[in-house]
Amino acid sequence: MRPNDLGPFWLPFTQNRAFRHSPRMLSRAEGMYFYDESGRKILDACSGLWCVNAGHGRPGITAAIRDMAGRLDYAPTFQFGHPSAFTLARRIADLAPEGLEHVFFVNSGSEACDAALKIARAFFAKKGEESRVRLIGREKGYHGSTFAGISVGGLPNNKKNFGPLIGATEDQLPLPYDAKTMRFTRGEPQAGAEYADALEDIVARRGAETIAAVIVEPMAGSGGVFASPQGYLKRLRETCDRHGLLLIFDEVITAFGRLGAATAAERYGVVPDMITFAKGVTNGAVPMGGVIVSDRIYRTFMQGPELVIELFHGHTYSGHPLACAAAHATLDLYRDEDLFARARKMEPVLEAAVHDLKGAPFVSDIRNVGLAAGIDLEPDPAAPGRRGYDAMRRCFADENLVVRISGDTIALAPALIATEDDISRIVDGVRNALKRMN
């Protein structure tokens, strides 16, 4: 079915008019590859949008979705439940660090962040600390595209033109990165834990009694792949503890193996109060997200008269049966193929390959952590973003490669099943594309 009119579908986060001139259509996918209508094989260097962690078209996931669709197409989770959502919540909580015991399901990463931020404010309201409303994000942070997400987010274009944002979100931590000293760092920068101390300054300025929560990505993904410096997250945790603030790890990208562990919290040995997840939980096959919440927070809500709803929040499709089926089958794959350990094993392979791009045309920085890498290109002073766009376009058209861009940064995040050969092909493709650019 070839569309003959590209007007009706308004693509998100896309230059729609440019797209219409040279559409990039993907018609089928299997393993590490997309295919277009003509059968051209296109290597997926970013696991779709950081979500297809086990590779495309896994038959177990497809069968589970098909089976559930035939048995239970839909069931409400307001006042009712279905078994698969409960067993899935158990499995997800079991993958999280101890103490994170309860799962609130939503349908996307944006909704997960929105829910976590609302739970944070409501937690303090329940405790009688109504003045704790401030939500602190970080420069270059991405927490989805809802009003809450862009309010705590740190990507200026995402905030521009949308009028007043959510109140009490003005304070932001700095990105723990210094272009002068950290360029071409491999893995987590050794220095930089002290960037967490900016939280102390905010507390001193605003007063701890006004702050509810801090939300950070353990690896800033959409902002351009920035790993947390060694010791940084631990220091944030300690500061939050000192002042009674909740710490939220936005693990929409990092949960389910991207950093070689079930969660970044596990990799870094730092336990937040909430973890948001989405993407990899269903291998991208059905929309799903959620918040893993500490027992302490949950218990604060589970008090008072039993006939009172504890949290006035949720979505029609929260814990949708098809999403639960896809997630169960996905978690089976991660377990049976030991894919998180595989990501850990492939991390040095991606690191070596991607840092070999140093010296390629326009490359001004390269960063990596887990199975993710960011390659900064010097912006065209007359048209920032043009080089990133051009690289993405050429990778697709000439190198049969799907890469992700954020401004002039190319992001690579191959599926956890990627072989050494796949990784070489990805990096060679990027190099070839850069060589032809101006």
Going by DSSP bridges, is the β-strand pair 372-377/274-277 parallel, antiparallel, or unpaired? unpaired
Using H for helix, E for strand and C for coil, what is the string for 5-39?
Answer: CCCCCCCCCCCHHHHHHCCCCCCEEEECEEECCCC
Using CA atoms, how far apart are residues 33 and 48, in angstroms rounded to an integer? 10
> Minimal distance in Å, beta carbon 108 to ligand PLP?
4
Using the contact rule CB under 6 A, the part of the chain among 55-63, 216-224, 335-343, 422-430 near ligand PLP is 216-224
Min dist CB 16 to ligand PLP, Å, is 18
Stretch that binds ligand PLP, among 102-110, 168-176, 340-348, 363-371 (CB under 6 A): 102-110
Q: Which of 119, 133, 253, 363 binds ligand PLP (CB under 6 A)?
A: 253
Please report how close the Cβ of residue 153 comes to ligand PLP at its closest, in angstroms.
9
- Please count the CA atoms within 13 angstroms of the CA of 74 that sit on its side-chain side: 6
Is residue 217 near ligand PLP by the rule CB under 6 A? Answer: yes
Contact call for residues 327 and 282 (beta carbons, < 8 A): yes
**Least distance to ligand PLP from the beta carbon of 405, Å?**
13
Residue whose beta carbon is closest to ligand PLP:
109
Tokens of 328: 């169960």
Binding characters for ligand PLP, 47-66, by CB under 6 A (x = yes): --------------------
CB 284 within 8 A of CB 270: no
Q: How far is the CB of 110 from ligand PLP (least distance, A)?
A: 3
Stretch near ligand PLP under the rule CB under 6 A, chosen from 115-123, 164-172, 179-187, 249-257 = 249-257
Owner of token pair 């979705």: 65
Q: Which of 278, 322, 402, 430 binds ligand PLP (CB under 6 A)?
A: 278
Report the candidate in 253, 257, 422 with the shortest Cα–Cα distance to residue 334: 257
Q: C-alpha angle with apex 180: 175 to 182, nearest 5 degrees?
A: 65
d(CA 394, CA 433) in angstroms, rounded, equals 6
Segment 105 to 144, residues that bind ligand PLP, using CB under 6 A: 108-110, 113, 142-144
Nearer to ligand PLP, 182 or 411 (CB): 411
Q: Residues interacting with ligand PLP, by CB under 6 A?
A: 108-110, 113, 142-144, 217, 221-222, 250, 252-253, 278
